[in-house]
Structure 1
Amino acid sequence: MMRRFTLFTVLLALAFSCGKENNLNLDTSPSQDYTGTKAKTRAEINQQAMRLLNEHQKFEWSMVDVHTVWSANLLSDSIMCIGYQPTNEKNVNERLHQIDIQRKEWKQVREELINYIVEETNRQNPAKTITARDLMPFGDEAVLPVIDIKITSLGIIEKLRNLPQVRYIEPMGYSYVEERLRSDSGCSVTGNPSIPAADFSNITPGAKQSWHHGVPRVSTAWGNNSGRGITVALLDTGTPNPTSQPKMGSQFNSGLSTGRTLTRIGTYVSCWFCGTPDGPNDQCGHGTQMSGLIAAPRGYDGTPAGVAYNCNLLGIRVTSDVIINGSSEKKGVADGLVIAGNNTSVKIISMSIGDVFSSGQVEDGVRYAYGKGKMILAAAGTSTSYTSWYGVIFPAWMAECIAVTGVKDGGLPLIRCNTCHSGSDVEFVAVMQRRIDDNRTALTLAPSGNVPANVGGSSAATATTAGIAALIWATNPAQTRAQVYARMKANSSWPSSRNAEFGYGIIDVGKAVTGL
């Protein structure tokens, strides 16, 4: 994988009036008139993005010119996300969890930006009076210093992009493909009635244990604890309807899984003009599988037990599928990260979702939760029809995330699973696929019934590793994130020599928990 470096955009400073340190001092003249300017096509934008991805192994909108940003916005829902800051603020990324955007200087910048956009929009479209409410489908953001607002003018975007108070301005809804590849995005999950006997063990009182628990020695760790007292937040497509899958409802506490909590909420809004989230129920199936890998009960009926079958689970529906490529999804993920970050009981956040395009708002959410002390695990990438060539995806490549991918069984040398991404940002791996048969992957819950479902890829590796981290953390809930991470690393395949594709390798959770 090529070494990454950041391409910085040169920002032009504007003059400020005396005694008004945070006043934008925007002149009242219209923004530049670009009437007749032709927008770039999706193919042209994608070609530019792919070149940057090949060169830098990541893509941020600051890497491209304002014409490209404007064109991408017109090809989506025209909602721009603006990250803002007062002029005297420094190192905002490191302090996102401490910032109060209701303070005077933050409110002033936010209000002046919104007022300028509204006034300039009305100047350019005098036939109808537009209000801030008309342009802001999600309303005011309460925690993160971001504004989600509709902008269709190239001139407005250009002027805002050159302000020192604007940390970033980028299209929220642009996607590499015109229609999201839902069939390639981790949905359509069903149970598998033909699972080979070698792929599970029957365990008390009446559950199954997936074969992929064997290499990390989960059974050995269970001799010490099963994750009790640790809360894992799963940010995904939701958790199953408890009526259809009671293992994530009335039977969450059953068998050897007792005294724990399941909290289910939703931040994803399927249509931004609807205003309210859709709720916590998984309408895809992916979140159901991930919740099962982490926390399914060790109960009855032959369903597979989760790695940390006694941990608490906070399930947040933040997306419709595994690709974070819509305005509502980016907003949903950021909101979910804030919720998990502010939940004092949450230790671990598991995110088996991502995209090849970055999002400033999601980055802000990740940094907010990280600043609150959460361990954030993110999938390195599971190939769709257009990302099979690519390395570690967003947000897993962020320094605040632990990137995880999946490998096949059979020992060294490690071979990544067929759909898994790898690269220098990967920190840990988990066995997800049989080397002799690609269709034999990890066992987990199906959206309904007791027949287990199969799931593989870096998504499953991430959820499995989140369960492993919970087992390690449960040995002493007072541990810090850094202490738990150190134990994960010390008990991995290569604790002192990071592999270029697979990081520190497979975690021996049995040894990490028991010392044996």
Structure 2
Amino acid sequence: MKKTLTFLAGIIVLAFTSCTNDEVITSTIIEENALLTEQESDAFLTIEEINTIIDQSLYKNGTFSWDEVAANVLWSAAVHGSEMITVGYGSKGESFREGKDSRLEGIQNEIIATVAASEGQTRKELKYLSDDILNVIDLRITTLESIRDLKAMPNVRYLEPNGYSFFTIQSQSGAEVQNRSSSGCDMSGSTLNTNDYRTIAPGALVSWTFDNHNITQAWGESTGAGATIGVIDTGISPNQPLLNADFGDGMSINNRTVEKYGTYIDSVWWWSNNLDGPNDKCGHGTSMTATATAPRNNNNRPVGVAYDANLVSYRGTADVLLNDYHERKGVSNALRALGDRNDVQIISMSVGYLWTIGNVRDAVRYAHNRGKLIFAAGGTSTTITNAYPVIFPASMSEAIAVTGVTDSNNYTRCDTCHSGPQIEFTIMMERDNNRDRTAAVLGFNSGDNDYVGGSSVATATTAGIAALVWAKYPNWSRTQVLNRMRQSSDFYGNKSNTFGYGNIDALQAVQ
């Protein structure tokens, strides 16, 4: 069974098809609701009305931003979303601070005082959470006046109702598809087709996808020893010993390290600090960490790309879709933590969302500013919606966007993969003549093998190749590693507007 990210199922199908009755209905709805975004109003909107506004923007522009909606829309979404608003403050582009800054502290205090006054509360009574590095603060708001006062402040970069997780998408039949929990999750194993792997010493399985990128040949030059990959995803399964106590088993270096952390909070209360731990309860994170770093041993299980690299796993989210406040905060905190580590060179993120999330964007910029090479999945959905643009945060200039292609000779993207001008690299991860046969990876439970597909596995594979390069050239900068990877790809010198530099030759990259 193919395991892919499915969080974009059915989204704005009408934008990519010929005119239909559904399209006429959607256009009518858009016209009827246009005033909701273009004019100020005191009206409190329903969830259905807010979702229509989001659909309107996605239909017309292919993206959505809370910056473009009226104050009452923000207020309504914030109140529906646990009465919380996220405020990014500072000068334009001032995502974080290097240390104590009295000017920024003054702006933050002004924001708190403004909201407290609008809410009729004292500072002590007001619920808020501030970040000591990112220029972000989350505050409880209930009044439209609070939003209007915040929008009028000159040092507010953005306002986002990060607790609003009710956005639904319309399928072509008109049925709603809930765009939330369990996206991309599967903890069951799979029986591998014997044509989808080969066995190498001392008894490890090599996924067929590796040979298309000369990964096993690259192992003669580098196996990732000394490099450290940080993976932000759904964590690591405690039931898979090869990603826990046996991480250094077999031919892998026995003193290489795996560290597991959790920044995700499973709570309905946005101000909760009850961390839910590092263990995977979805399956996606286990697949991604296995793809990049699973050991090479004699257990007849798939080996990872950089089987001697160190691993730092952060469970920042419950699934691949960052639609919940605690998932966004969890990923943001994980990026901050990995950014602060001198031993981590590479960050792999096979998670994302339809539009930009301010506090995650600020954290990506923080980690990037500290020299991290950040790989992000270009997006995976259904066959009828994969024309949707590259998703966030892969759409950021600070991230390296990756997508998947089939093993055909003419660059055919995988059934569910997104592509576009932001894509830098592609990975062959799907059989062109059998789309259910994707990359062979280590499974969630002891003794399990599995298949995993989409831009997710392409991203984790690329992060592993980067570790091979950085291990071979440990004194290189991020720019040097990235340039070597580009130079070792099919389209170097003539970058594609759809597939970037194309498939990477790992052997060439490490030579």
1:121 deviates by 1.2
Distance in 2 (CA, whole Å) between partners of 1:388 and 1:220 is 33
The answer to whether 1:513 aligns with 2:503 is: no
1:73 deviates by 1.7
Q: What's 2:74 paired with?
A: 69
For residue 314 of structure 2, give the secondary structure of its aligned residue in structure 1: strand
Q: Among residues 119, 122, 133, which one is paired with 1:121 in the alignment? A: 119
Q: What's 2:101 paired with?
A: 103
Q: Among residues 127, 149, 153, which one is paired with 1:135 in the alignment? A: 127
Q: What's 2:227 paired with?
A: 230
Distance in 2 (CA, whole Å) between partners of 1:444 and 1:133 is 51
1:90 deviates by 6.4
The answer to whether 1:248 aligns with 2:240 is: no
Q: What's 1:157 paired with?
A: 147
Q: Among residues 301, 306, 309, which one is paired with 1:308 in the alignment? A: 306
Q: What's 2:265 paired with?
A: 269
8 Å CA contact retained: 1:406, 1:430: yes
Q: What's 1:92 paired with?
A: 94
CA spacing shift, 1:273–1:92, aligned 2, 3 Å:
closer
Distance in 1 (CA, whole Å) between partners of 2:124 and 2:312 is 34
Amino acid at match of 2:287: Q
Q: Report the RMSD for the aligned CA atoms in angstroms.
A: 2.1
Please give the per-residue CA displacement for 1:263-311, whole angstroms capped at 9, x wherever unaligned: 1101110114541211110111000000000000111311111000111
The residue correspondences of 1:396-475 to structure 2 (distance < 5 A) are 396-411=394-409, 413-475=410-472
Q: What's 2:366 paired with?
A: 368
8 Å CA contact retained: 1:79, 1:327: no
Unmatched tracts of structure 2, length 5 or more: 1-40, 169-176
8 Å CA contact retained: 2:282, 2:319: yes
Q: What's 1:487 paired with?
A: 484
The answer to whether 1:334 aligns with 2:350 is: no
Distance in 2 (CA, whole Å) between partners of 1:283 and 1:103 is 39
CA spacing shift, 1:270–1:134, aligned 2, 3 Å:
farther
Please give the per-residue CA displacement for 1:58-115, whole angstroms capped at 9, x wherever unaligned: 3221122222222222332222111112xxx56524xx3x532x32222222122112
Distance in 2 (CA, whole Å) between partners of 1:134 and 1:415 is 54
CA spacing shift, 1:47–1:274, aligned 2, 3 Å:
closer
Distance in 2 (CA, whole Å) between partners of 1:68 and 1:481 is 41
Q: What's 1:383 paired with?
A: 381
Q: What's 2:159 paired with?
A: 169
Amino acid at match of 1:53: L
Distance in 2 (CA, whole Å) between partners of 1:46 and 1:445 is 39
Q: What's 1:260 paired with?
A: 256
Amino acid at match of 2:391: I
Q: What's 2:137 paired with?
A: 147
CA spacing shift, 1:90–1:61, aligned 2, 3 Å:
closer
Unmatched tracts of structure 1, length 5 or more: 1-35, 124-129
Q: What's 2:33 paired with?
A: none
Amino acid at match of 1:494: F
8 Å CA contact retained: 1:118, 1:132: no
CA spacing shift, 1:496–1:51, aligned 2, 3 Å:
farther
Distance in 1 (CA, whole Å) between partners of 2:471 and 2:408 is 29
Distance in 1 (CA, whole Å) between partners of 2:193 and 2:251 is 25
Distance in 2 (CA, whole Å) between partners of 1:423 and 1:158 is 37
The answer to whether 1:49 aligns with 2:57 is: no
8 Å CA contact retained: 2:115, 2:150: no
Distance in 2 (CA, whole Å) between partners of 1:384 and 1:285 is 20
Q: What's 2:43 paired with?
A: 38
8 Å CA contact retained: 2:406, 2:428: yes
Q: What's 1:12 paired with?
A: none
Distance in 2 (CA, whole Å) between partners of 1:459 and 1:421 is 11
For residue 486 of structure 1, give the secondary structure of its aligned residue in structure 2: helix
Residue range with higher mean Cα deviation, 64-73 or 380-389: 380-389
Q: What's 2:216 paired with?
A: 219
8 Å CA contact retained: 1:352, 1:458: yes
Distance in 1 (CA, whole Å) between partners of 2:218 and 2:125 is 53
CA spacing shift, 1:386–1:234, aligned 2, 3 Å:
farther
8 Å CA contact retained: 1:233, 1:316: yes
1:42 deviates by 3.4
Provide TM-score, normalisation by structure 1.
Answer: 0.85
1:389 deviates by 4.4
Aligned pair count?
461
1:384 deviates by 6.0
Distance in 2 (CA, whole Å) between partners of 1:232 and 1:469 is 9
Q: What's 1:26 paired with?
A: none
1:166 deviates by 0.8
Distance in 2 (CA, whole Å) between partners of 1:219 and 1:396 is 27
Distance in 1 (CA, whole Å) between partners of 2:436 and 2:498 is 23
Provide TM-score, normalisation by structure 2.
Answer: 0.86
1:498 deviates by 1.6
Identity rate, percent: 40
For residue 473 of structure 1, give the secondary structure of its aligned residue in structure 2: helix
Amino acid at match of 1:181: R
8 Å CA contact retained: 1:58, 1:393: no
1:447 deviates by 1.4
Distance in 2 (CA, whole Å) between partners of 1:55 and 1:489 is 34
Q: What's 1:279 paired with?
A: 277
8 Å CA contact retained: 2:302, 2:440: yes
8 Å CA contact retained: 2:383, 2:416: no
For residue 312 of structure 2, give the secondary structure of its aligned residue in structure 1: strand
Distance in 2 (CA, whole Å) between partners of 1:207 and 1:40 is 57
Please give the per-residue CA displacement for 1:137-190, whole angstroms capped at 9, x wherever unaligned: xx332211110112121111111112111111111022323955334x111221
Distance in 1 (CA, whole Å) between partners of 2:472 and 2:68 is 44
1:491 deviates by 0.9
For residue 280 of structure 1, give the secondary structure of its aligned residue in structure 2: coil
Distance in 2 (CA, whole Å) between partners of 1:433 and 1:153 is 51
